[in-house]
């Protein structure tokens, strides 16, 4: 019997827990927590515990597929590459888009954006951060000069007041939730405001439910109360920030009195007063947020308001403080860092600035895409519905927009308008089924690479087993396709480490990193600018990342969601995840231990609302929005605010995103998944 243990990193959420894969006779048979990993310290949540179960599924893609007469036919790699190369070359560069992925490695994200910009020469490259934390990247970069989580995960346990807003941390980032528990055990106060009484809310010393999409009003109200009482950090504001007076002028308006904010949000005045006092007076307060803040047409406003509160109270740049923007997927931070975005090269180097363009041209040794901002994922879906469509072909690596994107009828129409679609994935996902060519790729256990967790920790994952059949690793597929298209010189890589070395050369925040330096589980947090630099767990300790070193306050007025309830659609629909499933379910729904826990979708509705509609628990009801309808089992519970309903988005056969609104934040272009108007109907018997 051949057995080995391979240390690696969890492929699910952005916490970045360390795993040991147990390999027996060439198969991963189990997962054990990595005892000495500094984040999870020998613990795992259910998803991590069962992360091996999808790896050897019989429905893994093992051969390239080419669609002929509407049916997929197995092909050789040469046949698939020849067809993809010929088709991609047949379009103008700006008619082609590349979609990268938060689920693959840094090296693969780096190569995908390099492929777009050097081989196709298109500016159109993006990935699913557009759907989760695009608002964070824009909002925190505006406030602090760096669009990432300011502190490390370990520091949450040192906080004295943790405000959880727009995050169900205990279910979605369970090993970060454990740090909240540890802080509480050391005396920290926990505040949680959420429309649902989640497992995270159960931890809170102060919980209040509130209406989705009212975060700016809430935060402005808290700031008004803090300023009125003189609790703001006056020295910090004077020495480390600018434009405070502009924010003060807005938040002190009568609109943001606690009485008015209570009316807008549904939170009692006394709870608002308590939250403001606890947060302002604690010696170290942090705020943990996730997509409840970002997935709004006011996503950037929400993030900037969070930044305002943290600067007002002097909590940015210290242990136990900080804006803890909890990134969703395992490598969504890294995919952004690697420049799989339409406006920046790796390390957030602006594509529109001549020095950045010249630097990349010289590093890559060829002409590159014009220095202009390309389409986002959400732009792409819209321009595909133009007549004639402005895009003709998309190359998708590891994304599943046919379940993950808002308003799925619109997405399907858009993808069907493409002349050519290539999907590179490990399973025949709902999106891959629409493709002209499918390229079989490898999962986390079948390749080497790095990923960057939510706390900016760049850590390794390691190959444990071979990919199934003829499947290949994503970086190898990109290199071989680039060679077929005449760009072998730019893609000479023989290992993931060689790619990482190029990343370090062209990316200032990764410049001091190497595989040797991140071999241990502690790894390194970026920025790490030199080989001697120890990495940076806490950002902005002495100065912010703007050229003048100052944090920037931004005045923000409250705006309601794009679609609010009315007589026809009287409820607010909000969407999210559960602990057992992951995003579009392509991996977790193929993991039997996870799938058996939550195999079906549901619609959570308040007990009183259900009673008024005559709906019983588990009764199948109809949920209808202006975009579509689904039949779904009701889950009747007092744990959700009245007039608000919730659906998880993991289930393709009952897709919550059939209902959601594709209205976008004007800057970050993130859709408003967290609030749209919906009607819930009892299904009448025939």
Footprint on this chain of ligand SF4 (rule: CB under 6 A): 10, 12-13, 15-17, 40, 44-45, 47-48, 173-175
Closer to ligand SF4 by CB, 16 or 266: give it.
16
Provide, rounded to whole angstroms, the least separation between the CB of residue 455 and ligand SF4. Answer: 11
Residue, CB closest to ligand SF4: 48
Closer to ligand SF4 by CB, 173 or 304: give it.
173
Provide, rounded to whole angstroms, the least separation between the CB of residue 46 and ligand SF4. Answer: 7
Contacts of residue 358, defined as CB under 8 A and 6 or more positions apart, other chains included, come to: none
Closer to ligand SF4 by CB, 11 or 671: give it.
11
Provide, rounded to whole angstroms, the least separation between the CB of residue 52 and ligand SF4. Answer: 12
Closer to ligand SF4 by CB, 15 or 106: give it.
15
Would you state the structure tokens that stand for residue 327, as one six-digit string? 């990134």
Closer to ligand SF4 by CB, 173 or 392: give it.
173
Hey, how many other C-beta atoms are within 10 angstroms of the C-beta on 164?
29
Say which DSSP state 375 is in. -
Provide, rounded to whole angstroms, the least separation between the CB of residue 128 and ligand SF4. Answer: 17
- Tell me how far the alpha carbon of residue 359 is from its chain's centroid: 29
Query: Distance (Å, rounded) from C-alpha 642 to C-alpha 640?
Result: 6
Token pair 């730019």 is found at 490
Order across the sheet with 524-525: list the strands. 449-452, 457-461, 524-525
Q: Which of 294, 310, 291 is nearest to 302 (CA)?
A: 294
Provide, rounded to whole angstroms, the least separation between the CB of residue 35 and ligand SF4. Answer: 14
Provide, rounded to whole angstroms, the least separation between the CB of residue 451 and ligand SF4. Answer: 10
Contacts of residue 79, defined as CB under 8 A and 6 or more positions apart, other chains included, come to: 64, 66
| Alpha helices (H) along 100-173 | 106-114, 129-132, 134-144, 169-172
Provide, rounded to whole angstroms, the least separation between the CB of residue 21 and ligand SF4. Answer: 13
Provide, rounded to whole angstroms, the least separation between the CB of residue 339 and ligand SF4. Answer: 24
Closer to ligand SF4 by CB, 175 or 261: give it.
175
Provide, rounded to whole angstroms, the least separation between the CB of residue 505 and ligand SF4. Answer: 29
Closer to ligand SF4 by CB, 189 or 457: give it.
457
Query: Distance (Å, rounded) from C-alpha 151 to C-alpha 156?
Result: 8
Closer to ligand SF4 by CB, 175 or 499: give it.
175
Q: Can you tell me whether residue 322 is helix, strand or coil?
A: strand
Token pair 């004295």 is found at 160
Contact predicate 191/205, CB 8 Å: yes
For the chain, give the number of residues. Answer: 686
Provide, rounded to whole angstroms, the least separation between the CB of residue 13 and ligand SF4. Answer: 3
Query: Distance (Å, rounded) from C-alpha 310 to C-alpha 433?
Result: 46
Query: Distance (Å, rounded) from C-alpha 646 to C-alpha 410?
Result: 22
Bridge partner list, 289: 165, 325
Say which DSSP state 684 is in. P
Closer to ligand SF4 by CB, 34 or 651: give it.
34
Contact predicate 527/216, CB 8 Å: no
Bond prior to 49 in cis (omega within 30° of 0): no
Alpha carbons within 13 A on the beta-carbon side of 141: 16
Identify the burial level of 30 via C-beta atoms within 10 angstroms of its C-beta, where 0-12 means exposed, 13-18 middle and 19 or more buried. Answer: middle
Closer to ligand SF4 by CB, 255 or 597: give it.
597
Q: Which of 625, 678, 561, 556 is nearest to 297 (CA)?
A: 561
Closer to ligand SF4 by CB, 16 or 371: give it.
16
Query: Distance (Å, rounded) from C-alpha 422 to C-alpha 394?
Result: 6
Provide, rounded to whole angstroms, the least separation between the CB of residue 179 and ligand SF4. Answer: 11
Closer to ligand SF4 by CB, 13 or 675: give it.
13
Contacts of residue 644, defined as CB under 8 A and 6 or more positions apart, other chains included, come to: 195, 211, 212, 571, 572, 573, 574, 606
Contact predicate 124/96, CB 8 Å: yes
Query: Distance (Å, rounded) from C-alpha 639 to C-alpha 196?
Result: 6
Provide, rounded to whole angstroms, the least separation between the CB of residue 267 and ligand SF4. Answer: 29
Closer to ligand SF4 by CB, 42 or 570: give it.
42
Provide, rounded to whole angstroms, the least separation between the CB of residue 524 and ligand SF4. Answer: 18
Provide, rounded to whole angstroms, the least separation between the CB of residue 307 and ligand SF4. Answer: 25
Would you state the structure tokens that stand for residue 663, as one six-digit string? 């209205």
Query: Distance (Å, rounded) from C-alpha 394 to C-alpha 375?
Result: 12
Closer to ligand SF4 by CB, 30 or 274: give it.
30
Q: Can you tell me whether residue 634 is helix, strand or coil?
A: strand
Provide, rounded to whole angstroms, the least separation between the CB of residue 296 and ligand SF4. Answer: 24
Closer to ligand SF4 by CB, 579 or 656: give it.
579
Closer to ligand SF4 by CB, 45 or 634: give it.
45
Q: What angle do CA 628, 209, 565 make, to 5 degrees?
A: 35
Query: Distance (Å, rounded) from C-alpha 142 to C-alpha 146?
Result: 8
| Alpha helices (H) along 252-315 | 258-265, 269-281, 291-294, 299-312
Alpha-carbon dihedral of residues 53, 55, 58, 62, nearest 10 degrees? Answer: 170
């Amino acid at each position: 019997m051949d057995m080995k243990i391979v240390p690696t990193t969890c492929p699910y959420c952005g916490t970045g827990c360390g795993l040991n894969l147990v390999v027996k006779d060439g198969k991963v048979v189990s997962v054990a927590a990595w005892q000495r990993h500094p984040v999870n310290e020998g613990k795992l949540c259910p998803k991590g515990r069962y992360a091996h179960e999808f790896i050897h599924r019989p429905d893994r893609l093992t051969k390239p597929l080419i669609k002929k007469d509407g049916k997929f036919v197995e092909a050789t790699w040469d046949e698939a590459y020849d067809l993809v190369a010929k088709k991609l070359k047949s379009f103008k560069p700006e008619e082609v888009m590349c979609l990268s992925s938060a689920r693959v490695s840094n090296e693969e994200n780096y190569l995908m954006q390099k492929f777009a910009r050097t081989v196709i020469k298109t500016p159109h490259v993006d990935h699913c951060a557009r759907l989760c934390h695009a608002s964070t990247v824009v909002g925190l970069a505006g406030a602090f000069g760096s669009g990432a989580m300011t502190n490390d995960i370990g520091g949450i346990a040192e906080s004295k007041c943790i405000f959880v807003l727009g995050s169900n941390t205990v279910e979605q980032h369970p090993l970060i939730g454990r740090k909240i528990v540890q802080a509480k055990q050391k005396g920290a106060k926990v505040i949680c405001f959420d429309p649902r009484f989640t497992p995270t809310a159960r931890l809170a010393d102060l919980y209040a439910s509130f209406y989705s999409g009212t975060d700016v009003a809430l935060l402005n109200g808290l700031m008004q109360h803090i300023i009125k009482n003189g609790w703001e950090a006056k020295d910090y504001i004077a020495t480390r920030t600018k434009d405070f007076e502009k924010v003060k002028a807005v938040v002190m308006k009568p609109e943001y009195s606690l009485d008015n904010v209570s009316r807008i949000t549904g939170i009692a005045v006394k709870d608002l007063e308590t939250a403001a006092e606890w947060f302002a007076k604690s010696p170290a307060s942090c705020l943990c947020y996730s997509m409840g803040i970002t997935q709004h047409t006011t996503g950037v406003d929400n993030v900037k308001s969070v930044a305002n509160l943290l600067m007002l109270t002097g909590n940015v740049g210290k242990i136990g403080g900080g804006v803890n923007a909890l990134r969703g997927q395992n490598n969504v931070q890294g995919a952004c860092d690697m420049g799989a975005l339409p406006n920046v090269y790796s390390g957030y180097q602006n594509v529109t600035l001549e020095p950045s363009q010249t630097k990349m041209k010289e590093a890559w040794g060829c002409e590159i895409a014009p220095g202009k901002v390309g389409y986002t994922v959400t732009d792409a879906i819209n321009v595909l519905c133009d007549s004639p469509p402005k895009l003709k072909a998309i190359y998708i690596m590891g994304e599943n927009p046919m379940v993950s994107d808002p308003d799925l009828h619109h997405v399907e129409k858009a993808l069907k308008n493409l002349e050519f679609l290539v999907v590179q994935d490990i399973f025949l996902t709902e999106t891959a089924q629409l493709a002209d060519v499918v390229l079989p790729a490898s999962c986390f256990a079948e390749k080497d690479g790095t990923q960057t967790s939510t706390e900016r920790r760049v850590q390794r994952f390691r190959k444990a087993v071979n990919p199934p059949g003829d499947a290949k690793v994503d970086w190898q597929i990109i290199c071989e396709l680039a060679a077929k298209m005449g760009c072998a010189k730019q893609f000479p890589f023989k290992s993931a480490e060689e790619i990482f070395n190029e990343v370090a050369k062209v990316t200032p925040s990764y410049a001091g990193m190497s595989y040797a330096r991140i071999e241990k589980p502690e790894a390194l947090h970026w920025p790490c600018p030199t080989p001697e630099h120890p990495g940076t767990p806490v950002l902005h300790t002495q100065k912010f990342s703007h050229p003048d070193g100052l944090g920037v306050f931004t005045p923000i007025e409250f705006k309601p969601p794009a679609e609010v309830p009315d007589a026809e659609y009287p409820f607010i629909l909000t969407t999210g995840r559960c602990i057992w499933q992951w995003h579009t379910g392509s991996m977790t729904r193929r993991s039997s231990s996870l799938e058996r826990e939550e195999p079906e979708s549901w619609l959570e509705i308040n007990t009183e609302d259900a009673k008024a509609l005559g709906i019983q628990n588990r009764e199948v009801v109809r949920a209808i929005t202006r975009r579509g309808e689904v039949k779904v089992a009701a889950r009747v519970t007092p744990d959700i605010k009245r007039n608000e309903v919730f659906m998880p988005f993991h289930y393709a056969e009952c897709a919550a995103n059939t209902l959601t609104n594709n209205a976008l934040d004007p800057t970050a272009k993130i859709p408003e998944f967290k609030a749209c108007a919906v009607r819930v109907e009892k299904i009448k018997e025939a």
